[in-house]
Structure formats: structure tokens, C-alpha cells
Amino acid sequence: MSAVVIWHNPRCSKSRETLALLRSRGIEPEIVPYLERPPSAAEIARVLDLLEMEPRALMRRKEAVYRAGGFDDPALSRGALIAAMAETPVLIERPVVLSGGKAALGRPPEAVLSILP
């Protein structure tokens, strides 16, 4: 397994820019196409803890599925939101980079530099 992992969506410009940034630093990360191979609820919960974020901060709130699913309802629990991301990975903001027990959201791409080896 690579020391650096990226949850990647090749159709996303920020994801492509973050991957290019990693490669420009000589890092060939393990690329996880998270829309095809969604992370489990436990993985998402672990990443949220590493990011020190609540679920909605890692959710793509402008996605139609977010609105249609009523995920802005404050009564929804952390577990329910995490389960929704695991079941519908398009809800997950991207890219997420993992390295050395740390995580960073590549928005902007340079934000991942602080966790790199």
C-alpha cells in the first residue's frame, strides 16, 4: 500500500490538480476511485476524525441528491449522515488525501502539503 492515498474523482478539477501536485512532488499515491469503490461508514468516520470535521463539512451540499435526501435536516445524526455518504459517495467532497495517520481535503490542492512526508 502507498504511503499516500487519494480519494479521487478524475472528473473533478480540484481532484486532478491535487493528484498532479502530489506527482510533482515525486509522490505516486494509491488512487481510490471513491465513486466506484466507496469507503465504508467506518472509514468515513475515521477520516472525519482525522480532518476534525463534522459530516456536513465533508458533504457536497450543492449536489441534487443532498437536497433531495433532506440531508440539511438538523435532526439527522452524525451516523445517519456518514451512512448516507457511504451509500451515496457522490455526497463526499473531494479530494481527500491520507498520509501518515493524517488527512487533508484538497480544497485548495495546496492544503494537502501540510500532511505529506
Would you name the residues annotated as active-site residues? 12
Distance CA 60, CA 51 (A): 16
SS3 71: coil
Smallest CA-to-CA distance from 39 within 1, 4, 86, 6 is with 86
CA-based radius of gyration for the chain: 14
